[in-house]
């Protein structure tokens, strides 16, 4: 599937440097960046959900410990 990406000078330089450093194409640099961001956003959501469950379960204890 084709897609057009509009860039500015800063992004062009960054893509060129990263692609050369990694020995890959500029397209692959963008692909990896998007997939990494996608994975991180999923991880952040899972951490937030887990934290909410733990606060529901242990919130009163944590509150009491915080007031000691």
Kindly report the three-state secondary structure assignment for every residue of the chain. CCCCCCCCHHHHHHHHHHHHHHCCCHHHHHHHHHHHHHHHHHHHHHHHHHHHHHHHHHHHHHHHHHCC
How far apart, in Å, are the Cα atoms of 23 and each of 7, 13, 20?
Answer: 21, 15, 5
Specify if 2 maps to a domain. Answer: no
Look at residue 51 in the predicted model and tell me its pLDDT. 92
CA distance 52 to 57: 9
Q: What is the distance between the alpha carbons of residues 31 and 24, in angstroms, rounded to a whole number?
A: 11
What percent of the chain shows pLDDT beyond 90? Answer: 69
As given in the structure block, the two tokens for residue 37 are: 């961001």
Structural domain contains residue 55 = yes
Quote the pLDDT of residue 2: 87
**Residue 42 forms part of a structural domain:** yes
Q: Is residue 35 part of a domain?
A: yes
Q: Is the pLDDT of residue 68 over 80?
A: no
Number of compact structural domains in the chain = 1
Q: Which domain holds residue 54?
A: 9-66
Asked if residue 36 is part of any domain, the answer here is yes
pLDDT tens, position by position, 29-48? 999 999 999 988 888 888 98
pLDDT number for residue 43: 85
């Amino acid at each position: 599937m084709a897609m057009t990406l509009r860039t500015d000078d800063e992004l062009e330089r960054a893509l060129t440097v990263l692609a050369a450093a990694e020995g890959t194409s500029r397209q692959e640099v963008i692909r990896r960046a998007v997939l990494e961001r996608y994975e991180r956003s999923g991880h952040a959501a899972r951490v937030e959900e887990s934290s909410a469950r733990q606060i529901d379960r242990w919130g009163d204890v944590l509150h009491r410990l915080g007031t000691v």
